[in-house]
Structure formats: C-alpha cells, structure tokens
Amino acid sequence: MTGSNDLDRMLASYLDEGPRRAPERTMDAAVAFAAAHPRRRDPLLFLKPDVMARRGSLFGPQLVWAALLIVLTLGVVAAIAIGTRPSQEPVVPPPSALTPPSPSPSIAPRPTEFAIELFDPSNEIRTPITIQDASGTLVNAEPGEPQDAEPVDQIAATTDPADPTRLELVWTFCGAGSDQTLTIDESGLVWRLARVFPCDTLGGADLRMTLTFSEPVDATTLDIELVDVPQ
C-alpha cells in the first residue's frame, strides 16, 4: 500500500463506507428548534456580512456603510470647525520660512535584482523566482529545502533569531511552469509575491527561500501578500 494511486483508491473506498442517511431524531430536533425560534425580520441585516464572503473582501456592505458614516461624521465636524473659527488676518510667514530647503544629502537606494530557482523533489518541479528589491538592502537570496512543517496560510516570513539580517519566506505550492516575482518596495516594508494562477498542479510542499539583507529586518513589521494573477 505504498503507491500514490493505491493509497488514493483505498482511501476513496474506505471513505465510501458508512452511513448516508441522517438519524430522523436529529432532523426532527432541528425542525422543532426552528418552530420554537421563529425568525423575525432583522432590520440591520444589510449591515451584516455575507456568510460566504471571501476572506479579506474589502467592499462588503457593512464596510461601505461604515465608510459612509465616517465621511458623514468628518463632514459634520469640518462644517462645525469652519463655522466657529474666528476671522483672522492672513498670516505672512517670516522670510526665513520661505527659504527653499537645501537638497538632502541622503543617497538614493540602488535597486537590486536576484533570480533563483526552487526545486520540489516530491513533484520534480522547478520554480524560478525573480526578486526585485527597490530598497537596495537585499544582499543575497537562496532557495530553501522543502520541510515537514505546519503548512502556512498563503505566505509567511520569519526572521532568523540567530541572525536578524536573514529572513525565511514560506508560501504555498503552486505547481509548475510560471515564473514568480517578489517585489520589495523602496521602504523595504511592502512585499508582493506575484504568480500566475490557477496553477497546473496542486499538492506540494510549501516553497521556501532565505533572504539576507544589509541590515536587520523584523518580519512582524512587513506587509507581505501573495498575489495570484489570473492567467
């Protein structure tokens, strides 16, 4: 019972065993519960989220209403503030305030780009990754080994406690073929990993790579997102 197909076939057959009819008493109890708890029309239903709303959906009805409420409140506050402000003479700034600022001596970050390849031995799939770092602080990128760890929920980063300039990035497997690109913005805090989706193969170990920076990076301060780009 070691082959993958054998296991799938046996599992399907094993799961096929068992009851398919629900006990009558459970169904009767549910119907009795409904009769004992008649539902009244909820006037605030439109504010409540859809039970099948996708996680992270930004434009649910409750959010639209909350945004409208905030805008309305801000409008009222602004109107009151303008209405109660005493009339003033226009303030002329002193000449020193008009002096243009001197150019900053800071050096602009130099963007860097790395290209590496991850290898998943269980599927024999190679995944090319391009890393575009606009902050100029990335000094190295290395592929990580697939591990038997708890699967991540989309994407996660962890700072190496022994060396805070090193950070491990782990994200869900997505099959073969398409290139993936990690972009790091100028602040070094906003990371986006884009890949073509849906993938052609599902079911592989999470992908890993280790990034080394010129300065310590705290993974908990990063805004990281895995972006699935439709084909």
Partner 1 sequence: MLRELVERAANGDQEAFASLVQASSGRLYAVAYRILRDPYLAEDALQQTLITIWSELPRLRDPDRFEAWSYRVIVRASTAEAKRGKRAATTLRLLPDDADEARGPDEFGAVADRDRLDRGFKKLNADQRAVLVLHHYVGLTPVDMAEVLGIPVGTVGSRLHYATKALRAAIEADERATSTEERSA
Q: What is the DSSP string of 136-167?
A: S-EEEEEEPPP--SPPPSSEEEEE-TT-TTEE
CA distances from 51 to 42, 46, 105, 147 (A): 15, 12, 54, 35
Tell me which residues in 164-193 interact with partner 1 (CB under 8 A). Answer: 171-175
Q: Between 139 and 158, how does the x/- string for binding to partner 1 read (CB under 8 A)?
A: ---------x--xxxx----
CB nearer partner 1, residue 31 or residue 71: 31
| Part in contact with partner 1 (CB under 8 A); list of ranges 44-52, 66-74, 107-115, 184-192 | 44-52
Which residue matches tokens 């990076």? 217
CA 157/CA 192 separation, integer angstroms? 12
DSSP 3-state of 46: helix
Each residue 107-146 as x (binds partner 1 by CB under 8 A) or -, in order, gives ---------------x------------------------
Q: Are 214 and 165 a contacting pair, CB within 8 Å? A: yes
Which residues are near partner 1 by CB under 8 A?
A: 1-2, 7-8, 10-16, 18-23, 26-27, 29-31, 33-35, 37-42, 45, 48-52, 54-55, 122, 148, 151-154, 171-175, 197-199, 202-206, 226, 228
